[in-house]
Chains A and B, each alone.
Chain A
Amino acid sequence: GAVVSQHPSRVICKSGTSVKIECRSLDFQATTMFWYRQFPKQSLMLMATSNEGSKATYEQGVEKDKFLINHASLTLSTLTVTSAHPEDSSFYICSAPSGALQFFGPGTRLTVL
């Protein structure tokens, strides 16, 4: 099946710094990728849809200036959390569709001190 990777798997940063998370489709191309956020003991919430060659589409309530998304190629989307604060600490998961299904990355655990 299709494989999606994320890097890094864990990151700890100081408040005020920016963190970049990469999402790659390893064996297929994805013109669209999705970014989700998962709080502890909560469900996954879609943050934004990343579109190759155009601007990302953000869900209501998600700050686009804080969560910068760049879909640089057909196999790579990046999520940059700018000026991170402790409330941004969470588990970030990306996914990419292949055919009728979405394939999920393993997630990135972000901890902001």
Chain B
Amino acid sequence: AQSVTQPDIHITVSEGASLELRCNYSYGATPYLFWYVQSPGQGLQLLLKYFSGDTLVQGIKGFEAEFKRSQSSFNLRKPSVHWSDAAEYFCAVGAPFGPMNYGGSQGNLIFGKGTKLSVKP
């Protein structure tokens, strides 16, 4: 079955410390992988994505993630966390592009349950 696991429900880090949020997936084919951030009352914002190529991808706000096929993981990292990074983070996996049935994008994104990040001053 297709699934995404985010093992950490809640993580607290000090401002300026490094961060790693874990994501493991189970998927029958080569997945497309995403990290989204959701702030209270806000919509989901895409941080970064992996489709193919270089397995280390850079995103917005200083985030990066590394796709490790052998470990079925796509962990999110940031070298120095800012207080404004406190939010809920979701890892998601989607199907590779199929027929152009909806503009070339996949429809059914499978989301992990999220990791809530708190930042201590």
B105 touches A41 (CB 8 A): no
B36 — which chain A residues lie within 8 A by C-beta?
Answer: 104
Q: Known contacts A43-B113, A99-B104; decide if A106 and B49 are in contact (CB<8 Å).
A: no
Number of A-B contacts (CB under 8 A): 64
Interface centre among B44, B90, B97, B112 (most CB of A within 10 A): B44
B44 touches A104 (CB 8 A): yes
What would 16 more interface pairs be, CB under 8 Å, given A41-B113, A104-B43? Answer: A9-B41, A30-B103, A32-B102, A32-B107, A34-B107, A41-B114, A42-B113, A43-B112, A93-B44, A97-B107, A98-B105, A99-B103, A100-B51, A100-B105, A102-B109, A105-B43
* Shortest Cβ distance from B88 into A: residue: A41
A100 touches B107 (CB 8 A): no
B105 touches A97 (CB 8 A): yes
* Shortest Cβ distance from B102 into A: residue: A32
**Hey, which bits of chain B sit against chain A, CB under 8 A?**
4, 9, 36, 41-46, 49, 51, 90, 97, 101-105, 107-109, 111-114
B101 — which chain A residues lie within 8 A by C-beta?
Answer: 32
A106 touches B107 (CB 8 A): no
A95 — which chain B residues lie within 8 A by C-beta?
Answer: 44
Q: Which of B41, B46, B97, B111 contacts A43 (CB 8 A)?
A: B111
Interface centre among B97, B111, B113 (most CB of A within 10 A): B111
B90 touches A107 (CB 8 A): no
B114 touches A102 (CB 8 A): no
Distance of A20 from chain B, by nearest CB (Å):
19
Distance of A39 from chain B, by nearest CB (Å):
10
B104 touches A100 (CB 8 A): yes
Q: Which of B90, B105, B107, B111 contacts A101 (CB 8 A)?
A: B105
B46 touches A101 (CB 8 A): yes
A31 touches B43 (CB 8 A): no
* Shortest Cβ distance from B46 into A: residue: A101
A100 touches B97 (CB 8 A): yes
Check A81 for interface membership: any CB of B closer than 8 A: no
* Shortest Cβ distance from A6 into B: residue: B43
A98 — which chain B residues lie within 8 A by C-beta?
Answer: 103, 105
